[in-house]
Amino acid sequence: MKRFIGFIKKEFYHIFRDRRSLFILFGMPIAQILLFGFAITNEINNVDIAILDHSKDATTKEIINKISASKYFSIKQIIEKESDIESVFQKGHVKAVLNFEKDFSKNLIKEHKATIQIITDATDPNTANTISNYVNAILQHYQKDLNKDIVIVYQIVPETRMVYNPELKSVYMFVPGVMTIILMLVSAMMTSISITREKELGTMEILLVSPLKPFQVIIGKVFPYIFLSIINAIVIVMLSIFIFKMPVQGSLFLLALESILFIISALALGILISTIAATQQTAMMISLMGLMLPVILLSGFIFPISSMPIPLQIISNIIPAKWFIIIIKGIMLKGVGIQFIWKETLILLGMTVFFIAVSVKKYKIRLE
């Protein structure tokens, strides 16, 4: 036991002596969470649009004013002919062109009907669709004013209550996600490389002939990283509470336990990678190339899992990050206790045990 403690101490020294790595380890996640928390949003604001007004009368002017007054759009260009539409799209200057028909006001008065084309650059389907919906909503509102005198009979009005995030802040969606990718990738990368490093430099052989048992070697190697990751997690949670005003409706203690579980599962995954990979380069490519995009795309961090095709929804279940995101959103935003997230917790626990079991098995094979 004394030998083992000595070994852990040595590992700690190793890490803390390398100032540059430490700076990277702690500085980067902080910089990232600050940057993303403030910058990333999937809302659509200030979309640049162009106007093609064939009518140029009082009504079209009024509508154009209403549109430019909304926070969603800024009118960047006024174009004069249809053939210009193609070129403004190709330059990528605007995302949509509103095309008012000729004699707009006249038609509205005479025939009670006038038309506007909403031409969108649908290479980005989401933005195109949203622009179209927003323009429609603004026009609907304007129509209501025009039709004030006509009473509509029988009406059901929905009273909508947005729960867990009434102000629809996108930061509530992104902070848990960013927290997850940082913890996941930093933890997995750290362990995956630390053991392959010993292998590559040849020092692993020396460790293996030492009186320490193989699992002691591994635990000794991982232990300092558990410690580092926990500090990382604490810093991230504090930043999200104090800077982004994320609520923690549930128990902070539960949040801490779940975070530790997640960190351990990520570290175990890292060990698994390190038992497979022979060189640091391979280990890094597996943990970066193999984990980064799947974790960003399949965890529900940015894209809703329920909208994905069924096979991908099934695949998403093997991404540990998915479960952790459900857990932290549950604790922080919904304020749920363990009785609502025990299933997710068990799955994470199961994955951790699996990663460790496989690595132990692989590890023994290597020794023979």
Partner 1 sequence: MKTILYIIQKEFKQIFRNKGMLPIIFVLPLLQLVILSNAATFEVKNIKFGYNDNDHTSTSRALVERFNASTYFDVLTDFPSEAIANSAMLKGEVDVVLEIPLYFERDLQKEKHNTLGVTINAIDGAAAGVMNVYVSQIIQRFNQHLKVDLFQISDKQVQPITIETIPLFWYNETLNYKTFMVPGILVLLVTMITLFLSGMNIVREKEIGTLEQINVTPIKKSQFIIGKLFPFWVLGMGLLTIGLIIAKLIFDVPMVGSLPLMYVYTSIYILVVLGIGLFISNFTETQQQAMFIAWFFTVIFILMSGLFTPIESMPKWAQIITEFNPIKYFVEVMRMVMLKGSGFMDILPQLLKTLLYALIMNGLAVWSYKKTT
Task: Restricting to residues 184-223, name those near partner 1 by CB under 8 A.
Answer: 185-186, 189, 193-194, 197, 200-201
Cα four-point dihedral sign 315, 190, 232, 214: positive
Instruction: Work out whether 315 is an interface residue with partner 1 (CB under 8 A).
Output: yes
Q: Which is nearer to partner 1, 241 or 288 (CB)?
A: 288
CB 77 within 8 A of CB 88: yes
User: Out of 158, 242, 367, 368, which residue is the one contacting partner 1 (CB under 8 A)?
Assistant: 158
DSSP letter (8 states) at residue 215? H
Instruction: Work out whether 89 is an interface residue with partner 1 (CB under 8 A).
Output: yes
User: Out of 226, 284, 349, 358, which residue is the one contacting partner 1 (CB under 8 A)?
Assistant: 284
Q: Which stretch binds partner 1 (CB under 8 A): 138-146, 224-232, 237-245, 358-366?
A: 138-146
Q: How many residues does the chain have?
A: 368
Q: Which is nearer to partner 1, 135 or 321 (CB)?
A: 135
As a whole number of angstroms, the distance between CA 351 and CA 338 comes to: 18
Please give the radius of gyration of the chain, using alpha carbons only, rounded to the nearest integer: 28
Instruction: Work out whether 318 is an interface residue with partner 1 (CB under 8 A).
Output: no
Name the residue with tokens 């990050």: 321
Take residue 128 and report the two structure tokens written for it. 């195109």
User: Out of 79, 139, 235, 338, which residue is the one contacting partner 1 (CB under 8 A)?
Assistant: 139
Single out the residue of 182, 181, 174, 203 nearest to residue 302, CA to CA: 174
The amino acid at residue 219 is: I
Instruction: Work out whether 281 is an interface residue with partner 1 (CB under 8 A).
Output: yes
Q: Which is nearer to partner 1, 200 or 223 (CB)?
A: 200
Q: Which is nearer to partner 1, 54 or 169 (CB)?
A: 169
Query: C-beta of 265: minimal distance to partner 1 in Å?
Result: 19
Q: Which stretch binds partner 1 (CB under 8 A): 5-13, 50-58, 146-154, 235-243?
A: 146-154
Single out the residue of 167, 257, 219, 184 nearest to residue 29, CA to CA: 184
How many residues bind partner 1 (CB under 8 A)? The answer is 122
As a whole number of angstroms, the distance between CA 243 and CA 304 comes to: 26
The interface with partner 1 within residues 236-275 (CB under 8 A) comprises: none
User: Residue 156 class from Cβ within 10 Å (0-12 exposed, 13-18 middle, 19+ buried)?
Assistant: exposed
Q: Which residues contact 110 (CB under 8 A, 6 or more apart)?
A: none
As a whole number of angstroms, the distance between CA 339 and CA 320 comes to: 20
Instruction: Work out whether 161 is an interface residue with partner 1 (CB under 8 A).
Output: yes
User: Out of 70, 77, 105, 165, which residue is the one contacting partner 1 (CB under 8 A)?
Assistant: 165
Helix (H) or strand (E) holding 293: helix 280-298
Instruction: Work out whether 34 is an interface residue with partner 1 (CB under 8 A).
Output: no
Query: C-beta of 160: minimal distance to partner 1 in Å?
Result: 5
Q: Which is nearer to partner 1, 84 or 200 (CB)?
A: 200
Query: C-beta of 321: minimal distance to partner 1 in Å?
Result: 13
Instruction: Work out whether 297 is an interface residue with partner 1 (CB under 8 A).
Output: yes
As a whole number of angstroms, the distance between CA 284 and CA 272 comes to: 13
The interface with partner 1 within residues 10-29 (CB under 8 A) comprises: 18, 20-21, 24-25, 28
User: Out of 80, 83, 155, 242, which residue is the one contacting partner 1 (CB under 8 A)?
Assistant: 155
DSSP letter (8 states) at residue 211? S
Cα 49 to chain centroid distance, Å, stands at: 28
Q: Collapsing DSSP states into helix, strand and coil, what is residue 93?
A: coil
CB 189 within 8 A of CB 290: no
The interface with partner 1 within residues 48-87 (CB under 8 A) comprises: 48, 63
User: Out of 3, 9, 10, 290, which residue is the one contacting partner 1 (CB under 8 A)?
Assistant: 290
Instruction: Work out whether 91 is an interface residue with partner 1 (CB under 8 A).
Output: yes
Instruction: Work out whether 121 is an interface residue with partner 1 (CB under 8 A).
Output: yes
The interface with partner 1 within residues 338-357 (CB under 8 A) comprises: 340
As a whole number of angstroms, the distance between CA 137 and CA 135 comes to: 5
